[in-house]
């Protein structure tokens, strides 16, 4: 339940644009892999840089994050969670249909501190 609540808080922070709450979610550094929908390579960066990028990317958007199909593996003090999620993006001038992205996600969390780790554990296999 801790992992679920952590990811709910993280995604809700995007939707609420609550950068203080977002800063409480990931550990430092943050491992990101947006290659499946942004054509950018996976990378590890400082949490503050990650949040600054998200603020910039969302400057003209509103979002609604939803997720489902949870898979959680616990190995000692480390847990890996995988879920499918849909991100509905709305431009501030939104007048029509949302732009939805459906993305398989893998998140590695530490049970000991409840924060996202740097991705050093191998991820769960992605479905094709």
The CATH number given to 2-110 is 3.10.450.50
**Where do the DSSP E strands lie in the chain?**
30-32, 43-45, 61-75, 78-91, 99-110
Query: Given this model, what pLDDT does residue 100 score?
Result: 52
> Which pLDDT value is given to residue 128?
37
What number is the average pLDDT over the span 54-63? 88
Its pTM surpasses 0.75: no
State the pLDDT at residue 62.
Answer: 86
Q: What is the pLDDT of residues 9-19, one digit of tens each?
A: 988 998 999 99
Q: Is 128 exposed, middle or buried (0-12, 13-18, 19+ CB in 10 A)?
A: exposed
More confident residue, 29 or 78: 29
- Please determine, for residue 77, whether its predicted confidence score (pLDDT) is greater than 70: yes
Q: What's the number of CA atoms in the CB half-sphere (13 Å) around residue 81?
A: 23
């Amino acid at each position: 339940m801790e992992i679920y609540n952590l990811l709910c808080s993280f995604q809700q922070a995007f939707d609420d644009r609550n950068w203080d709450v977002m800063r409480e979610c990931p550990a430092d550094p943050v491992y990101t892999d947006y290659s499946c929908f942004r054509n950018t390579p996976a990378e590890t960066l400082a949490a503050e840089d990650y949040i600054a990028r998200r603020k910039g990317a969302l400057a003209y958007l509103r979002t609604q994050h939803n997720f489902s199909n949870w898979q959680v593996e616990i190995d000692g003090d480390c847990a890996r969670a995988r879920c499918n999620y849909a991100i509905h993006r709305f431009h501030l001038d939104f007048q029509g249909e949302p732009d939805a992205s459906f993305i398989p996600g893998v998140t590695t969390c530490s049970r000991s501190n409840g924060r996202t780790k740097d991705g050093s554990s191998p991820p769960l296999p992605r479905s094709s």
